[in-house]
Amino acid sequence: MNVQTPTSAERAAKLEGLGCKRKRVEDIRFVQGKGNYVDDLKLPGMLYGDLVRSPYGHARIKKIDTSKAAAVPGVVAVLTAETLKTVNLTWMPTLAGDVQMVLADGKVLYQNQEVAFVIAEDRYTAADAADLVEVEYEPLPVNVDPLKAMAPNAPVIREDIKDKTDGAHGKRKHYNHIFSWQAGDQAATDAAFQKADVTIKELIVYPRCHPCPLETCQCVASFDKIKGELTLWGTFQAPHVIRTVGSLISKIPEHKIHVIAPDIGGGFGNKVGAYSGYICAIVASIVTGRPVKWTEDRIENLSTTAFARDFHMQMEIAATRDGRVTAMRCYTIADHGAFDACANATKWPAGLFSIITGSYDFPTAHVLVDGVYTNKAPGGVAYRCSFRVTEAAYCIERAMDIMAQKLGMDPAEFRVKNLIRREQFPYTSATGWQYDSGDYHTAMAKAMEAVNYKKLREEQKARREAFRRGETRELMGVGVAFFTEIVGAGPSRACDILGIAMFDSAEIRIHPTGSGICRLGTKSQGQGHETTYAQIIATELGLPADNITVEEGNTDTAPYGLGTYGSRSTPVSGAATAMACRKIKAKAQMIAAYMLEVHDDDLEWDVDRFRVKGNPERFKTMTELAWAAYHEVPPGMEPGLEAINYYDPPNFTFPFGAYICVVDIDVDTGMTKIRRFYALDDCGTRINPMIIEGQVHGGLTEAFGIAMGQELHYDEDGNITTASFMDYFLPTAVETPHWETDWTETPSPHHPIGAKGVGESPNVGGVPCFSNALNDAFAFLGSTHIQMPHDAWRTWTAAEKLGLHG
Amino acid sequence: MAKSHVAMKVNGKTVEALVEPRTLLIHFLRDELNVTGPHIGCDTSHCGACTVDLDGKSVKSCTMFAVQANGADIRTIEGMANADGTLNALQEGFREMHGLQCGFCTPGMIVRAYRLLQENRNPSEEEIRYGISGNLCRCTGYQNIVKAIQFAAAKLNGVPFQEAAE
Ligand code: FES
Ligand code: FES
């Protein structure tokens, strides 16, 4: 043969496997408007549902009159708590062990709470009729301040459990108390504080905000009376969880429920939970015998489904005079709204918040969280975050700055002094986490060099002097953040949701011609899973990524999985994919050995083939082996080439990063301008650098929104005042800064391909970085902490308080 | 409710229908015509997910009644591809530059960018950012959308695309 055989490297490049900036498969349909989102679905005879909502933050319901609504031509039915009682669905269990009203039962506990569900022939009629449902309310005293929730005379939010002294997570100390949860060593921590040289204490509030994907939550429920089967299409980040919960709630056997999550227009945590609208649509379909669509509008989305954060953290750090941290103590009040519907692993009412010691070597720490009820919407999802990690990272990163300021040290230098050193990994934190791998000092040094940190500080110094001399009205702030994430929930010994261990799964079938399909229990909402999982398979099996179809979101075909959130897809399902590939490869090796008439051990793997050791001319490619698997398997072997893996991770993964931000602030207007933002991420093995960069850009933009303007604000009467895009800040292309991205690569030692996950890192690290930059600008004037969000008004107010306006 | 007769061109095809006067153009397109490329992302005319090209202007189709579009010539994402069915420069640019993630904003973004490039063949980064500021994206952080539009501009102008240095 005179054809040059391609080298291993050439063959590997053709596969578009790990490390390749592979263009996305899903884009082909999206750029042509051929995505298939829930609201695109239209079934014969489909009805539309619309919710009637409470205008009050807290009120007793005296009467509901649906007669006028029901009389509107085109209205098919109206559901209220009374109707739901007949099917025992007035209340539903939450993921956090609480119960929640599906439709208001006797009273409403927060503004826009669901009161009735109108079902009509079209959207407009449903909305018209919803307006005609007459509800008589008797307003009750409102509390929206979590710090007042446990006052002796606070309004009773939950009459249904007022006298219960035990909750899902132990003793309750007040009728508005949900749980107390703690980690670390209180006695040792208190002792360390007693002999500390220097301490700081600050109330750090992470305001309530909302993930706000561009597509709201929606579903279509279709109940087939003859078969007794329910098909539910919806915006579900975790389709199997919805099926199981749906079955437990509705008593429809689980095998008769088909949950389908088609393309999802962003999730960021919003689409993990089970919401009233879904239950109402299901009941409506059962009652009417027709498919029912429910779509949220934006106001409903912002005000009722899935808030995030609302953590009020009293943070303390102790350190030696020369800048070594010795202890950390944090007492948090967590506002969970009217029902505890937090989407956390069930045993972790405060999520993974005890990651709060961050990237620093704290000898001891103690964390205590009290969850409370208020007259706000339930939810408590991880907005692009792994279960309360954003709150923890924000708190520690702000506190490190405050301590550096007190010590008179540079914040970066103070961090470097306390970062966990490379040789300490695997590192056990004071609150008990085992960090898998890290090289923090290298990352920090690279970041500081990239932005020329020293020069930035010199410039800042000169500008501060100019400011003092009255030559400029602009302040410059430099924000530094070094974060450690904890993602990939998670190990079954630690994590479950309603008793289901948080493993994930992949099922791979290789077809005779060497192409294949991989089905997973996760669900992409824009992360590009159809592209990246195929890259893992390409490298593992030596088949071109283009030959692999990735399918998610159909509970009938996909193996059971816990879904996509908390950056768990790569750490858990990515691992399952690799492990399933390895099973397939092991079988292929036996087939190759049989065909080549050698012993298994005489073969070695080379990119896309098994070849005979020492005789590379003799080989069988994976494509040949796929064919052989269906026609000439060794005697006694089952034909076919497929495998399934349920991966229970041995540990979490711990991505990390170093971010630096430069901000300029006009003290007279409070306007801020992000001059520069540099983000270095280490997410272990990099599957697709293009997608990683895209994830970082997106996460940073969300972080920018949170830090600089997002807040779900309630007035004292319980009115939510920021529930539309008029008031809830979403950055446009104009405000959004230019992002500089960078990376180091420290693989996870316990993950089959060393990947750690990245989707949420930029949100976790970004928010403290922006906030630190803003706070840093004012620090030389003695200011220690300005609360987020740092919109122009708050920033101007901070300047005013510091006497900067003369 | 009494219905009105409307006729308009959508992606080159003439359509006629009876609609309630209050029917929003976006609902008419999506629910009546099954033109589901344009999406709904808000109730306040902020997000631009519903953007269509109408008589040579970018229009948020949630902000207009179907009856107001009587006689109009409308193009949506479904009508963006080249005549031979291949991706047009913008569609290609969005894919090449990773200018989309969940894809929900993409139909509106591309249709908006199309009009932007009709009006300004060679926009600066700042002009692009202002030009698409009526279209929100929650996933990408816009940087790659800007690049995608620059890619398309270069292609339409027949010049090689050069990525700005980081
Ligand atoms: S749907 Fe948001 S602007 Fe039209
Ligand atoms: S790609 Fe998801 S909103 Fe833009």
DSSP states along A111-163: TT-EEEEEEESSHHHHHHHHHH-EEEEEE------GGGTTSTTPPPS-GGGTT
Cβ contact B101–A733 (<8 Å): no
Torsion, Cα of A231, A232, A238, A243 (10° steps): -50
* Preferred mutation among B34, B102, B111 to probe A, highest tally of A CBs within 10 A: B102
The residue of chain A with its CA nearest to that of B99 is A694
Task: Give me the mean pLDDT over the B48-52 stretch.
Answer: 98
**CA A544 – ligand 1 centroid, Å:** 40
Cβ contact B43–A265 (<8 Å): no
pLDDT at A566: 66
Share of chain B above pLDDT 90, in %: 96
Burial class (CB in 10 A: 0-12, 13-18, 19+), A597: exposed
| Chain-centroid distance, C-alpha A262 | 19
Whether residue A314 lies in the annotated active site: no
Of A237, A525, A527, A710, which residue is the catalytic one? A237
Cβ contact A730–B136 (<8 Å): yes
Splitting chain A (806 residues) into consecutive groups of 10 residues, what average pLDDT does each group show? 76 96 97 97 97 98 98 98 93 91 98 98 97 98 98 97 93 97 97 98 97 97 97 94 90 96 93 92 96 97 94 98 98 97 82 95 98 95 86 98 98 98 97 96 98 98 97 98 89 74 89 97 89 96 98 94 76 90 98 97 97 96 97 94 93 95 98 98 95 96 97 97 95 98 96 89 97 98 97 97 93
Measured CA to CA, the distance from residue A286 to residue A119 in angstroms comes to: 12
Strand partners for A476:
A664
Residue-by-residue DSSP string for chain B: ---EEEEEEETTEEEEEEE-TT-BHHHIIIIIS---SS----SSS-S-TTEEEETTEEEETTSSBGGGGTT-EEE-GGG-S-TTSS--HHHHHHHHTT--SS-SSHHHHHHHHHHHHHH-SS--HHHHHHHTTTS--SSS-SHHHHHHHHHHHHHHTT----PPP-
Of A330, A385, A518, A581, which residue is the catalytic one? A385
| Predicted interface score ipTM higher than 0.90 | yes
The three-state secondary structure class of A556 is coil
Write the residue in B38, B102, B142 that is nearest to A266 by C-beta: B102
Number of residues that this document lists for chain A:
806
pLDDT at A346: 73
B66-95 residues touching A, CB cutoff 8 A: 76-78, 80-81, 87, 90-91, 94-95
Residue A676 vs residues A550, A553, A641, A738: alpha-carbon distances, Å:
38, 39, 51, 7
Cβ contact A214–B133 (<8 Å): no
Residue A398 vs residues A401, A451, A787: alpha-carbon distances, Å:
5, 21, 10
pLDDT at A567: 65
Measured CA to CA, the distance from residue A671 to residue A795 in angstroms comes to: 7
pLDDT at A489: 76
> What's the gap in Å between the CA of B71 and the closest CA on chain A?
24
> What's the gap in Å between the CA of A120 and the closest CA on chain B?
15
Write the residue in A23, A214, A295 that is nearest to B47 by C-beta: A214
Q: Which residues of A touch B38 (CB under 8 A)?
A: 33
Ligand 2 shell residues, CB under 6 Å: A 214, 266, 526; B 100-106, 137-140
Say which DSSP state A546 is in: G
Cβ contact B144–A216 (<8 Å): no
Question: For a pocket test of ligand 2, which of A29, A31, A214, A263 has the largest count of ligand atoms closer than 8 A to its C-beta?
Answer: A214
- Report which residue type is found at A366: H
**CA A619 – ligand 2 centroid, Å:** 45
pLDDT at A231: 98
Whether residue A568 lies in the annotated active site: no
* Preferred mutation among A30, A42, A233 to probe B, highest tally of B CBs within 10 A: A30
Cβ contact B36–A733 (<8 Å): no
Token digits of residue A133: 């449902």
Measured CA to CA, the distance from residue A26 to residue B80 in angstroms comes to: 18
Q: Which residues of B touch A27 (CB under 8 A)?
A: 94-95, 100, 103
B43 CB near a chain A CB, below 8 Å? yes
Q: Which residues of B touch A42 (CB under 8 A)?
A: 31, 34
Provide the whole-model pTM: 0.96
- Report which residue type is found at A26: E
> What own/partner pairs with CB < 8 Å and gap ≥ 24 does A157-166 have?
A157/A58, A157/A109, A157/A338, A157/A373, A157/A374, A157/A375, A158/A109, A158/A338, A158/A339, A158/A373, A159/A106, A159/A107, A160/A99
Q: Is the pLDDT of residue B166 over 70?
A: no
Which atom of ligand 2 is nearest the CA belonging to B145?
A: 4
Whether residue A121 lies in the annotated active site: no
Cβ contact A123–B87 (<8 Å): no
Cβ contact B140–A26 (<8 Å): no
Write the residue in A33, A42, A734 that is nearest to B129 by C-beta: A734
Task: Supply the residue whose CA is at minimum distance from atom 2 of ligand 2.
Answer: B102
pLDDT at B163: 79
Q: Which residues of B touch A261 (CB under 8 A)?
A: none
Which atom of ligand 2 is nearest the CA belonging to B100?
A: 1
B145 CB near a chain A CB, below 8 Å? yes
pLDDT at A1: 45
* Preferred mutation among B74, B138, B147, B149 to probe A, highest tally of A CBs within 10 A: B138
Which residues 6+ apart lie within 8 Å of A9 measured at CB? Answer: none
